């Protein structure tokens, strides 16, 4: 089980864009900074947010990154080595997130 408090971390990500009806056919990949956050009274929430596009020469996340589109997850199960979250289609009442909520599909 996770014993420490929550976290916020920025990381480089490649996001593959595709048509809704053909998600396995990648139209184009884009490189973006992604912000991952775990929080809540028992660290039961997870957000994954896209942020600024990455510049080719960037190796470290820039200061002042801000979340844009954010997906939200709830903890389903957790072991010492793994945490499993369910990404939701609707933001639960009373939960505030950074960025604009983006519903999970699929």
The percentage of residues in the chain with a pLDDT greater than 70, rounded to a whole number, is 95
Contact 5, 37 (CB under 8 A): no
> Per-residue pLDDT for 3 more than 80?
no
Taking only the tens place, the pLDDT of each residue in 14-24 is: 988 888 888 88
Residue 4: predicted pLDDT: 63
> Per-residue pLDDT for 1 more than 50?
no
Tokens of 47: 């957000």
Integer angstrom CA distances of residue 58 from 6, 32, 35, 51, 98: 27, 11, 16, 14, 24
pLDDT, mean over the chain: 90
Taking only the tens place, the pLDDT of each residue in 88-99 is: 999 999 999 999
Q: Is the dihedral of CA 6, 93, 52, 18 positive or negative?
A: positive
pLDDT band at 52 (very low <50, low <70, confident <90, very high): confident
DSSP 92: P
> Per-residue pLDDT for 47 more than 70?
yes
- Domain extent listing, the chain: 7-101
CB neighbour class for 33 (10 Å; exposed up to 12, middle 13-18, buried from 19): buried
User: What is the reported pTM?
Assistant: 0.83
Cα(70)–Cα(92) distance, rounded to whole angstroms? 13
């Amino acid at each position: 089980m996770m014993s420490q408090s929550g976290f916020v971390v920025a990381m480089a990500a490649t996001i593959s864009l595709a048509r809704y009806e053909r998600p396995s056919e990648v139209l184009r990949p884009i490189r973006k900074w992604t912000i991952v956050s775990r929080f809540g009274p028992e660290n039961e929430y997870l957000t994954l947010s896209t942020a600024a596009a990455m510049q080719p020469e960037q190796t470290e996340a820039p200061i002042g990154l801000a979340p844009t589109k954010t997906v939200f997850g709830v903890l389903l199960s957790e072991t010492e080595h793994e945490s499993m979250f369910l990404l939701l289609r609707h933001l639960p009442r009373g939960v505030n997130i950074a960025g604009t909520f983006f519903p999970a599909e699929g």
